[in-house]
Amino acid sequence: MTRTKDYFQSAIGEMRKVTWPTKQQTIQYGIFVIAMSIGLMLFLGVLDYIFNAGIENIIK
């Protein structure tokens, strides 16, 4: 039981040492992640369309 208690005390101590991002940084990082996700989605969608069209032409 003391090992569990020591673990959580240590974890709480480490969390107090963390330098958390500001609200503005969090918003900027969030927007960046969403934009990159949309960009990757579009890129993969275009690749899928191209490969799908190519496979359909090969099959016909």
Q: Where are the domains of the chain?
A: 19-60
pLDDT of residue 10: 95
1 pLDDT higher than 90? no
Overall average pLDDT of the 20-43 stretch: 98
Q: How confident is the model at residue 28 (pLDDT cuts 50, 70, 90)?
A: very high
Cα separation, 4 vs 33, whole angstroms:
36
Which tokens is 34 given? 């969403």
Which tokens is 1 given? 């039981």
